[in-house]
């Protein structure tokens, strides 16, 4: 199974909470055309490494804001097709900011071959959107879903963020309700996490914005799980819910250890026991490729122990659970403790976290791998 990720490093504005490798156009150092030229070079390199004729099962354009490329996002898929074969049932996703979507662009994207769209809604509450520094109104994301459906998309995700300072539990449930009303097939709900240098983290550190609390995040996660489960969505990964058979196959490929190429500035790639990552700066990335050089900034080979650790951390986040055979016998007491504390259950040959356990997924993985 092979996947391709394409990182598009442009945003109209940088949201105050975001730590992704993205730039406004005046800071990126490259134009959209420069980006497409460099991407063509990187895809050629990828096809040489993975073997031309490699069949891609999933493609995911993320960012950043891929939809800022406009019709150029259709060209991205054409470039991919020049170097790879898309499986007949390939999942081809793009992320999108609500304010960048128009009915015309959605039709171009659907016509180009995208069959899944992931829209950054974040919240249905104007005050929460304001605190997050989002530039769209709550209604814009809802309208964008209807426009995507009219253009022929039937696989639609909405991204939501919970735990924004000042957001009440009721407001969070209202946001979930508004998202559900649009009848998406998939919902991602992320706990707001802040890198210290982000503008929102600085405002919290100064005391001008209230702090985020673990208790608030836990209450909102459990409330989300209860509401979404009652609406027929399964929490197949800690932050992701889907209707039956609508899980994001691309993200599952990451979590299950498939091979993928990440193209674009700062993108990460993985093949067998090797991972590598590109330089983050878009200009430097484009210059290296223009000079016929690899844009890779580093490479790492994982030994068997490191691979096992990674598997534990990823698999424990999935509803399918962690195969017990991946755990050494020395963890038996820990596992029994999680089960008796209702943090996990044993389902067949796998250890599966309960909703309360999923709140502690990172801590539990750490305990299991350091035992
Ligand atoms: C690349 S963005 C999606 C597309 C688009 N750029 C947007 O924001 O609408 C991926 C998602 O990551 C989530 N995200 C980004 N930074 C986050 C943070 N600091 N804490 C929690 N979620 C975050 C948001 O839900 C966002 O929609
Ligand atoms: S959340 Fe999305 S739109 Fe906002 S800065 Fe990050 S990538 Fe860009």
Residues 6+ apart with CB under 8 A from 124: 138, 141, 142, 174, 175, 177, 178, 179
Q: Which residue owns the Cα nearest ligand 2 atom 6? A: 18
Secondary element (H or E) of residue 204:
helix 199-206
CB 137 within 8 A of CB 128: no
Is pTM beyond 0.85 here? yes
- Closest ligand to C-alpha of residue 98 is 1
**Domains with residue ranges and CATH for the chain:** 2-254 (3.20.20.70), 305-369 (1.10.10)
Residue length of the chain: 371
Exposed/middle/buried for residue 116 (C-beta within 10 Å: 0-12, 13-18, 19+): buried
Ligand 2 centre to CA of 27 (Å) is 15
Q: For residue 244, what pLDDT is reported?
A: 98
Pocket test for ligand 2, best of 97, 157, 267 (most atoms within 8 A of CB): 97
Ligand 1 pocket test, pick from 23, 95, 97, 167 with the greatest ligand atom count within 8 Å of Cβ, gives: 95
Mean confidence (pLDDT) of the chain: 96
155: nearest Cα among 93, 239, 100, 106: 93
Q: Are 62 and 6 in contact (CB under 8 A)?
A: yes
Q: C-alpha distances in angstroms, 333 versus 131, 336, 359, 367, 368?
A: 44, 5, 21, 12, 10
- Report pLDDT digits (tens) over 217-261: 999 999 999 999 999 999 999 999 999 999 999 999 999 999 999
Give the ligand at the shortest distance from the Cα of 24.
2
Q: Which atom of ligand 1 is nearest to the CA of 65?
A: 6
What is the predicted pLDDT for the residue at 97?
96
Tens-digit pLDDT profile for the chain (371 aa)?
899 999 999 999 999 999 999 999 999 999 999 999 999 999 999 999 998 789 999 999 999 999 999 999 999 999 999 999 999 999 999 999 999 999 999 999 999 999 999 999 999 999 999 999 998 899 999 999 999 999 999 999 999 999 999 999 999 999 999 999 999 999 999 999 999 999 999 999 999 999 999 999 999 999 999 999 999 999 999 999 999 999 999 999 999 999 999 999 999 999 999 999 999 999 999 999 999 999 999 999 999 989 989 999 999 999 999 999 999 999 999 999 999 999 999 999 999 999 999 999 999 999 999 87
């Amino acid at each position: 199974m092979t996947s391709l990720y394409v990182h598009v490093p442009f945003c109209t504005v940088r949201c105050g909470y975001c730590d992704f490798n993205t730039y406004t156009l005046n800071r990126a150092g490259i134009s959209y055309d420069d980006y497409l030229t460099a991407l063509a070079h990187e895809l050629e390199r990828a096809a040489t490494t993975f073997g031309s004729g490699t069949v891609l099962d999933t493609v995911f354009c993320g960012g950043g804001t891929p939809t800022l490329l406009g019709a150029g996002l259709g060209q991205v898929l054409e470039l991919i097709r020049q170097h790879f074969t898309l499986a007949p049932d390939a999942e081809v996703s793009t992320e999108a900011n609500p304010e960048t979507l128009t009915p015309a662009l959605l039709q171009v994207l659907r016509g180009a071959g995208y069959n899944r769209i992931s829209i950054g809604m974040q919240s249905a509450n104007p005050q929460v959107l304001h605190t997050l520094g989002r530039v769209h109104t709550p209604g814009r994301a809802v309208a964008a879903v209807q426009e995507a459906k009219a253009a022929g998309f039937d696989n639609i995700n909405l991204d939501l963020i919970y735990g924004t300072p000042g957001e009440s539990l009721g407001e969070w449930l209202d946001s979930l309700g508004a998202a559900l009303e649009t009848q998406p097939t998939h919902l991602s709900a992320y706990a707001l996490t802040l890198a210290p240098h982000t503008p929102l983290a600085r405002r919290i550190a100064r005391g001008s914005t209230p702090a985020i609390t673990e208790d608030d995040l836990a209450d909102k996660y459990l409330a989300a799980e209860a509401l979404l489960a009652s609406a027929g969505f399964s929490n197949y990964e800690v932050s992701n819910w889907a209707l039956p058979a609508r899980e994001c196959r691309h993200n599952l490929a990451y979590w299950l250890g498939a091979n993928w190429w990440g193209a674009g500035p700062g993108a990460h790639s993985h093949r067998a026991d090797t991972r590598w990552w590109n330089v983050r700066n878009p200009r430097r990335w484009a210059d290296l490729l223009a000079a016929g050089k690899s844009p890779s900034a580093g490479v790492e080979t994982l030994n068997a122990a490191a691979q096992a650790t990674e598997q534990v951390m990823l698999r424990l986040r999935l509803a399918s659970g962690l195969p017990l055979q991946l755990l050494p016998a020395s963890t038996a007491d820990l596992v029994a403790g999680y089960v008796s504390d209702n943090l996990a259950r044993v389902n067949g040959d796998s250890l599966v976290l309960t909703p309360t356990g999923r709140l502690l997924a990172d801590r539990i993985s750490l305990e299991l791998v350091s035992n």
